Structures are given as C-alpha cells and as structure tokens.
Amino acid sequence: MIVGTSFLVPEKKTRTDLAGMKNTLRGLVTAFRRRELWIVTMFIFLYYFSPGLSTPLYYHMTDDLGFSQAYIGLLGSISAAGWVIGALLYRRFFGNLTLKNLLNLSIAIGTTAGLAYLFFWNETAAAIISFGGGFAAMLTTVATLTLAADYCPPRAEGFSFAVLMSIINFANTLADNVGSFLYTHAFHRALPPLVLISAAFTAFAFILVPLLRLGNKRQGEPANMSERLELAGTGAR
C-alpha cells in the first residue's frame, strides 16, 4: 500500500494552507461540542450493542444441530443474498420514508428477525432465518449510516463519520464478546435466553429514537437544514 500510494497515485503538490487547517480544527472542536452528535453516538452504540449471536450461533449450529461446515458457509451466502435484496428494495420501498420512520421500521424488523432465531431448529428454518437476518441487517445499516452522515458537522465530516463507524465496530465486537460470555457461563450453552436478551436490547432502541428529535427530517437531509426549515416555519407562523 505504501509503495502503491507513493508511485501509482498522482497528486498535485500544494502549499500548506494554515487558514484551511485552522478552519478544519475549529470544525473538529465544534463536532465534539455538538449535543446532537453525542446523542447520535450514544444511540448508535446502544443500537448495535445487543449481546451478539454470531459466535454462540456458530457453536450452536456445529455442536447442537450438527450442521456441516459447508452448510454453515452456505448460510453465510444466503444471509448475504438477504443483504443484496434489501439493498435492491431499499430505494423503491423505503427511500421516501422520513429518517425517524426508517429507524423505527429498522428496529421493528431487526427485533422480529432476532426473535426468529428462537425457531432455528433445522436446515430449512436456518436458511429462511439467515435470509431474513441479512435483509434486516441491510436496513439497519442504511438507517444508521444515514443518521451518522446527516449529523456530521461541516468541515469535519470525514473525521466524525469515521469516529461513528468506529463506534459501530466497537459495539459489535463488545456485543459478540458479551453474548459469548453469557452463552457459556450464564445460559450454559442454551441459545433461546440469549436470543430473547438480544432482541430486547434491539427493541430498547425504540425508546432512544425520540431523543434524536428528528421530526419530519428526510433521509439525506443535513440536520442543520431541518433546523433551518423549522425556524423558517416558526417565523412564517
């Protein structure tokens, strides 16, 4: 990567823009001071921090259900197909929803898809549930990434978005470790209690949505733009 960046990527040399750097630094400071950004960060962390099923589910399929490694790999492909279908259907069926409605719908579908793992009994059920889980995961991804992008402050968009993506990765990793610990030590390798707790954590995100104060904000509309529209509407009245 270093060699390729050095010799294969063309780049025009420019002088250091101190004023631009100062403006960027002010943008970063503003990003950390924004109450909305902290609320969005908390929401994203709690949304993704549901005791994970990833590792426990693998051992459940291997030890309890006796699935072969080939079929477990096939289930991964079926889940990926759910992602693709979700992406293809998103613009047609979900693109016109307000961000608030999209988040609530993604939480509802995610909770339902999570509870479906209570019926993870055989290969047929596993295939259907894996597809639904992939579809729900795509909707969740679109909803949360849209939320993160809309609330990134000017001149610090890249940094703020990267931080929020790191929060998602941290929450996912922590959730998987907590879920694995509960599966092994608290539930004695029983999957249903972990499924219920995971679904409950996902459903808890319903309570957090009103804290975002989204109103009728459209997807892709910068957060400050919605505030301007609200102020304009108040002035008009």
Alpha carbon 52 to its chain centroid, in Å, reads 14
pLDDT tens column, 208-222: 899 888 888 888 887
Residue 8 lies in a domain: no
Domain tally, the chain: 1
Q: Measure the CA angle with vertex 22, ends 17 and 28; round to 5°.
A: 125
Rg (CA), the chain: 21
pLDDT category of residue 27 using cuts at 50, 70 and 90 = low
One-character DSSP codes across 181-201: HIIIIISTT-HHHHHHHHHHH
Amino acid at 152: C
Phi, psi (deg, nearest 5) at residue 27: -65, -40
Residue 228 lies in a domain: no
pLDDT tens column, 145-157: 888 888 887 777 7
Domain with 211 in it: 35-218
Residue 224 lies in a domain: no
Which range has the top average pLDDT, 13-27, 41-55, 167-181? 167-181
Q: How many angstroms separate the most distant Cα atoms in the chain?
A: 66
Residue 14 lies in a domain: no
CATH number of the domain to which 92 belongs: 1.20.1250.20
Model confidence pTM above 0.95: no
pLDDT category of residue 233 using cuts at 50, 70 and 90 = very low
Per-residue tokens: 227: 């505030």
pLDDT tens column, 155-171: 777 888 888 899 999 99
The closest of 102, 105, 115 to 50, measured between CA atoms, is 115
The confidence score (pLDDT) of residue 218 equals: 86
Residue 214 lies in a domain: yes
| pLDDT above 70: residue 186 | yes
The confidence score (pLDDT) of residue 181 equals: 95
**Whole-angstrom distance, CA of residue 76 vs CA of residue 166:** 24
Residue 209 lies in a domain: yes
**Whole-angstrom distance, CA of residue 35 vs CA of residue 225:** 16
pLDDT category of residue 53 using cuts at 50, 70 and 90 = confident
Residue 2 lies in a domain: no
Instruction: Give SS3 for 131.
Output: helix
Q: Which residues on neighbouring strands pair with residue 104, listed in sequence order? A: none
pLDDT category of residue 194 using cuts at 50, 70 and 90 = very high
CB-based burial label for 71 (10 Å; 0-12, 13-18, 19+) = middle
> CA torsion, points 173, 175, 177, 183, in degrees to nearest 10?
-150
- The mean pLDDT of the chain is 85
Residue 115 near residue 199 (C-beta atoms within 8 A): yes
Taking residues 215-233, what's their average pLDDT?
61
The confidence score (pLDDT) of residue 227 equals: 45
What percentage of the chain has pLDDT greater than the value 90? 49
Using the structure block, give the residue that is written with the tokens 């403006």.
23
Residue 231 lies in a domain: no
